[in-house]
Amino acid sequence: MLTVLLIVLPILGAIVAALSPNNARQVALLSTLAQLCITIYCVLTFSQNSSLMAFDATWIAPLGIHFKVAMDGISLLLVLLTNALLPFIVLSGSALDPIDNRANTRYSLILAMQAALVGVFTAMDGFLFYVFWELALLPIWLICLLWGGENRVRITLKFFIYTLAGSLFMLLGLTYLYLQTPIPHSFDIAALYNVALSSNAQSGIFWAMFIAFAIKIPIFPFHTWQPDTYTTAPTQGTMLLSGIMLKMGVYGLIRWLLPIAPQGVQTWANLVIVLSIIGIIYGAIIALQQRDLKRLAAYSSFSHVGLIAAGVLAMTTQGLQGGVFHMLAHGINVVALFYVIDLLERKTQTRNIDEISGIANNDREFAILFFIIVAGSVALPLTNAFVGEFLLLNSIFIFNPILAAIAGLTIIFGAVYMLRVYRSTMFGELNANTQHVAFVHSPEKWVLYPLVILILVMGIYPKYLMDLAQPAILQLMGAIGQ
Amino acid sequence: MKALISLSALAILSLAGEIFGFKRQTNVLLIIGLLVTLVLNFMDWNTNISYFSNMMQYDNFSVAFTGAILLCGLAVVLLSPHFFKVVETSESESYAQLLFLMAGGLLMVSFSNLSMFFIGIELLSIASYILAGTDKRNLYSNEAALKYFLMGAFWSSFLLMGIALVYAAAGSFDLATIAAYSTKGNLSGYFYLGTFFITLALAFKVSAAPFHFWAPDVYDGSPTIVTLSMSTIVKIAAFGAAARLFSYALYPAMPSMSKIWWILTALTLLVGSLGALQQTSFKRLLAYSGVANAGYLLLGLIAANNNANNALLFYLIAYSVATISAFAVLLLLSYKYDDENGEHFKGLATTSPWLAAAVTVSMLSLAGIPPTAGFFGKYYLFTQAIAAGHTSLVVVAILSSIVSIVYYFRIIINMYIPDENSLPTALELPFVYKIVLIITTITSLALGIYPSVLANIL
């Protein structure tokens, strides 16, 4: 029941936000905070047998489709990620709101997106999963379209068509599976897990679903929508996309693809892991060349998620543990990073690295906060990203040591471009753009503090969150049959 | 059956309105009459009576499809008065033809004898030829009527030939007898040839490629209100008739024709969506979208069983509801501007946000995005086609859906991204249009969120 509440509450919030043009942000903040409180309650009372969080009702009886939602450890962590980030994403709109006469629509869409995301992470029925998957696409598309920057029409349409194309083939795959279940057919996740497929069918299902997830993550060469979309989207949109939405793809791999078509994954693992690693290197090299901060962060994100995908697709317990944990870590880090970039852009009117310098001279506190975020992005030990990346590399190492060595380059490259950004923006002489930049008394800092604390706490004591997901991961590995 | 009597009576009543001078009240009378007819129609639910020495069988299939036809007819009648103020046509004649068209449709979805099927299809066709030409002084309308008539007459002859050949093989016009004959096996060549001819004629009627060339011109040339009836009522009737014919009698011939169906369906899907991509006129876009949607519906015909018929009905309703929304707004635009260019949607969200919301829901439903009826409808059809072993066709249908996103979303984007230079003035929204749009929008969403209500009624 609690899970349903987590889906319904944002919808109600969205409706109220839409109807209150003057204080939509407050409504949204209230709604997301309430949501966060419920989520924390779920985390604290969580145990594997908790039936409190499961809900099952017939939805479309003639086709055996149920409205079935539940949370195991993996879902719980992703729901936690979603609901923990949403208040920050809402808060980060404070600068845009005064000049936006459609702010209520924007917050309404953000909350609608939240509902759909929670739905994606908790759906235990294939059809329901697909519906939430699509429902998450509509609000983010509208956010990017209505508040986007240059060329938004072309870029957002490409984004929409790209992702929809992938997901339609996933629907085809799911429907094929559905028709293989014993009569009366069912979309229930357990029934889909139990379908025995020939190795050809496994390959077919693998590709039908993999492409959908690969586009969302994105994995090379399905990534071409991503940098443009990240850059043109308003900051809140970029945060939703990079912080949470791409996790839908990885979650899809873990929850749906690996257990349903393990042989398919094994057959194609070499190819797709190599593709992911190409993405890691390719993204990192392009990030090295970027002068535009937002584009740099977009490519860096692309590079990092390649690692998650590769680690997960290696199908080891470490890979899944690392993947789940790193999804959280990456979500927090990337939202923090985009938030900082947005702050810099707003204060200096530019996103070009070369035109920003010397901010540490004005505001040391901000420089320290930013440093911790950068440290998180480059996976320094004692930051949250280190734990995940280590496990993921470990998983790739088990699969193939040489590939692991290549994938490990991501950490070095990451350090190069992130530290360069840090050096050039924070140190050096103040210039015309940064003359009067100081964040000392700005309320925005209160968004950065909790994020930075999360980065450190998760890095120093990851055990609590890891333990939450552990039983679910072991169960999943059991389903995969490894 | 009561519905048929009531419809014919209403048709004569609207003609009498012209003679006895209660023209002005005809519209209101028809609205009341159609509501009564709807009630009469649904009173026949679960009765399953046959009429005219087994020429018609009024079963649940008929009641459901007739209900859909009547509701679309009601929408057309509601939207008509404003249209007739702008376009000079003879109002009561148009109403009479519309009702005859619906009566023809009713016969087409409730026949149990091939001769009744032919009578129904001709009644519907002749009424629609006339309706296409009702804008007498408009060249395009004349062209549409002539084109439609010539092509229609040509393909009617194929239909008749096909029926004759099936008769030659089975020795009867009766559906049950034909079914009994065809399931016995060892079928004569006449039966296949007849089925083939009937398939071609029906492919023309539902504007399946490569027999679709008439459709964009006829849809575009006809008065908009007529285009609306052609893309909803005629479509429901034609697909209803085809589904009835194939799933009641001719299904044994389906496997041997699967290649033909494959080509028909794949071509229709691709031609429809690629054609729509090129259009600047919203009306022509809807015409091509009608062709593409015929492709999805053909997926439901191939399986030729009861589940597939249900999927077909669901999608026909979802498609008609979305189309009525789109046409209502098209009509509003055409009252204000002289053409039907899609550019007129620019900035609509700023001036009429609720109207824009209705168009958005309608476009999403046509594009098949959840949570709208169009999504579940498409999905339902896809499932039936995959279950019948036509996965490759579903792949083509998915490709066509992806292409269709471009043109449906172009409309949505136009509405929400205004042209900086010129903001349109708000559209005037008459009361009935408001009612129709509210009902269609809510139906689109409700059927998308809870499709169970219609997913298993046959």
* Distance separating alpha carbons of residues A352 and A374, to the nearest angstrom: 17
* Distance separating alpha carbons of residues A209 and B249, to the nearest angstrom: 39
What is the pLDDT at residue B421? Answer: 66
What is the pLDDT at residue A442? Answer: 67
Residue of B nearest to A179 (CA): B387
Q: Which of A155, A239, A215, A97 is nearest to B413 (CA)?
A: A155
Chain B residues near residue A165 by CB distance under 8 angstroms: 398, 402
Q: Does A145 touch chain B (CB under 8 A)?
A: yes
B420 in helix, strand or coil? coil
Domain ranges of chain A: 266-482
* Distance separating alpha carbons of residues B401 and B108, to the nearest angstrom: 29
Distances B40 to B34, B45, B226, B275 between C-alpha atoms, Å: 10, 10, 26, 41
A188 is written with which tokens?
């229930």
Rg, Å, chain A Cα set: 21
B127 is written with which tokens?
């009424």
A89 is written with which tokens?
């994403």
Beta bridge partners of A318: none
B199 in helix, strand or coil? helix
Q: Which of A11, A15, A63 to mutate to test the interface with B (most CBs of B within 10 A)?
A: A63
Omega before A221 within 30 of 0, i.e. cis: yes
Q: Which 8-state DSSP code applies to residue A354?
A: G
Q: Does A11 touch chain B (CB under 8 A)?
A: no
Are the C-beta atoms of residues A459 and A382 closer than 8 Å to each other? yes
Following CA atoms A253, A255, A256, A257 in sequence, which dihedral angle do they give, to the nearest 10 degrees? 40
Contact A169 B398 (CB under 8 A): yes
Which among A135, A153, A172 is the nearest to B398, CB-wise?
Answer: A172
* Distance separating alpha carbons of residues B398 and B385, to the nearest angstrom: 12
What is the pLDDT at residue B374? Answer: 93
A400 is written with which tokens?
């193939």
Longest CA span, chain A:
72
Q: What distance in Å separates residue B405's CA from the closest CA in chain A?
A: 7
Residue B424 scores a pLDDT above 60:
yes
Are the C-beta atoms of residues A234 and A96 closer than 8 Å to each other? yes
3-state percent helix, strand, coil for chain B, nearest multiple of 5: 80, 0, 20
Q: What distance in Å separates residue A161's CA from the closest CA in chain B?
A: 7
Contact B417 A145 (CB under 8 A): yes
Q: What distance in Å separates residue A147's CA from the closest CA in chain B?
A: 10
Contact B370 A153 (CB under 8 A): no
Contact A63 B398 (CB under 8 A): no
Are the C-beta atoms of residues B16 and B33 closer than 8 Å to each other? no
* Distance separating alpha carbons of residues A327 and A254, to the nearest angstrom: 12
Omega before B216 within 30 of 0, i.e. cis: no
Q: How does pLDDT run across B353-382, given as a tens digit for each residue?
A: 888 899 999 999 999 998 899 999 999 999
Q: What distance in Å separates residue A182's CA from the closest CA in chain B?
A: 13
What is the pLDDT at residue B245? Answer: 92
* Distance separating alpha carbons of residues B298 and B442, to the nearest angstrom: 27
Instruction: Collect all residues with Cβ–Cβ distance below 8 Å to B24 and sequence separation of at least 6.
Output: none
Chain B residues near residue A169 by CB distance under 8 angstroms: 398
* Distance separating alpha carbons of residues B277 and B415, to the nearest angstrom: 18
Residue of A nearest to B417 (CA): A146
Chain B residues near residue A146 by CB distance under 8 angstroms: 416-417
Are the C-beta atoms of residues B360 and B415 closer than 8 Å to each other? yes
Q: Which of B163, B183, B182, B181 is nearest to B173 (CA)?
A: B163
What is the pLDDT at residue B419? Answer: 67
Q: How does pLDDT run across B300-331, given as a tens digit for each residue?
A: 888 888 889 999 999 999 999 999 999 999 99
Q: Does A164 touch chain B (CB under 8 A)?
A: yes
A359 is written with which tokens?
């901010």
Q: What are phi and psi of B121, to 5 degrees?
A: -65, -35
Which among B310, B382, B416 is the nearest to A175, CB-wise?
Answer: B382
* Distance separating alpha carbons of residues A304 and B195, to the nearest angstrom: 59
Q: Which of A60, A158, A162, A180 to mutate to test the interface with B (most CBs of B within 10 A)?
A: A60
* Distance separating alpha carbons of residues A97 and A103, to the nearest angstrom: 6
A285 is written with which tokens?
């090299």
- Residues B377-400: what's their mean pLDDT? 91
Which among A60, A138, A169 is the nearest to B452, CB-wise?
Answer: A60
Contact A157 B369 (CB under 8 A): no
Which among A142, A161, A178 is the nearest to B402, CB-wise?
Answer: A161
What is the pLDDT at residue B99? Answer: 94
Longest CA span, chain B:
71
Beta strand B49-51 with B56-58: parallel, antiparallel or unpaired?
antiparallel
B165 in helix, strand or coil? helix
* Distance separating alpha carbons of residues B285 and B359, to the nearest angstrom: 14
Q: What distance in Å separates residue B425's CA from the closest CA in chain A?
A: 19
Q: Which of A162, A175, A177 to mutate to test the interface with B (most CBs of B within 10 A)?
A: A175
pTM: 0.92
Contact A63 B455 (CB under 8 A): yes
What is the pLDDT at residue A52? Answer: 66
Chain A residues near residue B387 by CB distance under 8 angstroms: 179
End-to-end CA distance of chain A: 33
Q: What are phi and psi of A68, to 5 degrees?
A: -120, 115
Q: What distance in Å separates residue A473's CA from the closest CA in chain B?
A: 31
Contact B416 A145 (CB under 8 A): yes
Contact A164 B405 (CB under 8 A): yes
Residue B422 scores a pLDDT above 60:
yes
Q: What distance in Å separates residue A221's CA from the closest CA in chain B?
A: 19
Q: Does A177 touch chain B (CB under 8 A)?
A: no
What is the pLDDT at residue B365? Answer: 94
Q: Which 8-state DSSP code applies to residue B428?
A: P
What is the pLDDT at residue A49? Answer: 59
Which among B371, B380, B451 is the nearest to A135, CB-wise?
Answer: B371
* Distance separating alpha carbons of residues B159 and B151, to the nearest angstrom: 12
Are the C-beta atoms of residues B360 and B417 closer than 8 Å to each other? no
* Distance separating alpha carbons of residues B192 and B190, to the nearest angstrom: 5
Q: What distance in Å separates residue A211's CA from the closest CA in chain B?
A: 14
Inter-chain Cβ pairs, chain A and chain B, closer than 8 A: 73
pLDDT in tens, chain A (482 residues): 888 888 999 999 899 988 888 888 888 889 999 999 988 888 888 875 566 678 888 888 888 888 988 888 888 889 999 999 998 888 887 777 677 778 888 899 999 999 999 999 999 999 999 999 999 999 999 988 888 877 888 888 889 998 999 889 899 999 989 988 888 888 888 888 888 888 888 898 999 999 999 998 888 888 888 888 888 888 888 889 888 998 999 999 999 988 888 888 888 888 999 999 998 888 888 888 888 888 888 888 888 888 899 989 988 888 899 999 999 999 999 989 888 888 888 878 888 888 888 887 777 888 888 899 999 888 888 888 888 888 998 899 988 888 888 888 888 888 888 888 888 888 877 777 777 766 656 667 778 888 889 899 988 888 888 888 888 888 888 888 75
Instruction: Collect all residues with Cβ–Cβ distance below 8 Å to A433 and sequence separation of at least 6.
Output: A348, A349, A350, A355, A356
Question: Chain B: which residues have CB within 8 Å of chain A?
Answer: 310, 364, 369-371, 375-376, 379-380, 382-383, 386-387, 391, 394-395, 398, 401-402, 405-406, 409, 413, 416-417, 450-452, 455-456
* Distance separating alpha carbons of residues B454 and B446, to the nearest angstrom: 11
* Distance separating alpha carbons of residues A330 and A385, to the nearest angstrom: 7
Which among A62, A176, A179 is the nearest to B456, CB-wise?
Answer: A62
Distances A437 to A293, A367, B16 between C-alpha atoms, Å: 17, 12, 82
* C-alpha dihedral sign at A138, A139, A143, A146: positive
Q: Does A271 touch chain B (CB under 8 A)?
A: no
* C-alpha dihedral sign at B212, B213, B217, B220: positive
Contact B402 A157 (CB under 8 A): no
Contact A134 B398 (CB under 8 A): no
Phi-psi region of A384 (alpha: psi -120 to 50; beta: other; left: phi over 0): alpha
* Distance separating alpha carbons of residues B215 and A230, to the nearest angstrom: 42
Helix B23-43, helix B91-108: angle, nearest 10: 10
ipTM: 0.91
Q: Does A169 touch chain B (CB under 8 A)?
A: yes
* Distance separating alpha carbons of residues B326 and A465, to the nearest angstrom: 50
Residue B50: which H helix or E strand, with range? strand B49-51
Residue labelled with tokens 């089925």 = B195
User: How many percent of chain B have pLDDT more than 90?
Assistant: 55
Q: Does A8 touch chain B (CB under 8 A)?
A: no
Contact B370 A160 (CB under 8 A): no
Residue of A nearest to B396 (CA): A169
